[in-house]
Amino acid sequence: MELIPAIDLMNGKCVRLFKGDFNKRKNFTKEPHEQAKFWESEGAKYIHIVDLDAAKTGEPTNDQSIKEIAKTIKIPIQIGGGIRSIERIEQLFSYGIDKVIMGTSAIENKELVKDLSNKFPGRIIIGIDAKEGKVSTRGWLKQSNILATDLVKEFSSFKIASFIVTDINTDGTLEGTNEEFIKSILEITDIPVIASGGVGSISDLLSLVKFENSGLFGVIVGKALYENKFKISEANNVLSSKRLIDFDFNNNYYA
């Protein structure tokens, strides 16, 4: 299970929202590419970027920051926010982005996502953001009646890289993850899952290790890292130690 640090972009700056509320945001002082470089030096193996402006309006306004991040670090980057066309995907790939995350467009145009996952197998991630188990779109501003689990079932037949599932009610709270929500997703798909929302301590990370064998590939962490609740290097050390403890001599996890 990988710890994946998040960079949320708004007006070219790093920000964090509280429960997805654009009116409850906190700005951070480091330039996005400096933040990404710092996390890479701390031991991050991936970087997760969300263009919040593009998610809200569909217009990419943070491309300069995205390009600078891609030029500055060597680890893979996954990015989401307002990605709704093949032209935009190809543009992001040209910047050096490894994988793109489709959220609103995945829900509103499933045939497009199917075509894109065939054209770029293993490079499309489906982002599913949910509140009370139901999907939100347009930068979390629009609430639907679609169940997250129904979408996961439907998209599991596509040639996608993974799902990112976010519980909006826990996002930015530092109060712990929604384990039941994560478990409900893992039970219905064989596609790797990345969880997001609520991690506030190393203990929160450790509580998710039990899902690693069920397909939990990683956990996205933002606010906890920005506010120095723990360091990536510390978390990686603890997670590595936990894996060693949980393996028996036959390389099997204890139940």
Catalytic residues: 8, 129
Q: Is the dihedral of CA 204, 209, 210, 215 positive or negative?
A: positive
The answer to whether 69 and 32 are in contact (CB under 8 A) is yes
Cα–Cα distances (Å) from 168 to 20, 171, 177, in that order, read 6, 5, 10
Tokens of 36: 């990404």
d(CA 130, CA 135): 4
Q: Are 127 and 119 in contact (CB under 8 A)?
A: no
As a residue count, the chain comes to 255
Q: Which residues of 198-230 are buried (b: 16+ CB within 10 A; e: fewer)?
A: bbbebebbeebbbbbeebbbbbbbbbbbbeebb
Q: DSSP E strands: which ranges in 19-170?
A: 21-28, 47-51, 77-80, 99-102, 124-131, 134-137, 142-147, 162-167
